[in-house]
Amino acid sequence: MSNTVLLAIDGSRGSDRALTHVRKRAELGGAKVVVAYVIEWSPYSFNTPEENAERHSRRETEISRATTSVVEPALTYLTEGGIDVESLVRHGPPSETLIKIAEEVGAAQIVIGRRGESGLKSLIFGSVAGNLIQTSPVPVMVVP
């Protein structure tokens, strides 16, 4: 059985609590941690070539910002604990993308904070954590 944990982060307080929890558990059990940040992105839009070029530029800027402000500090925090860690930043529907990543890295578990950055939208349409609980093929731990 895999000892890889997929940690979904988004820079929220819930995400920070999940990060702290994963570090403690990985220090105890020697788990490898894959940190994933998913930028919500829908491929279903009709754009002109100019809009597509601008959209690509915006995607690259979002990846850079997420990596610098959220992912790199998380990696630093985990490696300070002596944890084997890697990271991924992807665009896509959050729950579906996290499940794909979990399958790619052979994760035994997905860990996510209960409340992320989505706020009111998640109250209306459902949260990423709730969607993962319903659809993930691997266990999901939701950190309060």
- Residue 2 confidence (pLDDT): 81
- Residue 109 confidence (pLDDT): 96
87/6 Cα distance (integer angstroms): 9
Class of the domain covering 4-143 = alpha beta
* Domain boundaries defined on the chain: 4-143
Q: Are 91 and 125 in contact (CB under 8 A)?
A: no
pLDDT tens sequence across 8-51: 999 989 999 999 999 999 999 899 999 999 988 766 666 666 76
pLDDT tens sequence across 49-88: 676 667 777 888 888 999 999 999 999 999 999 999 999 9
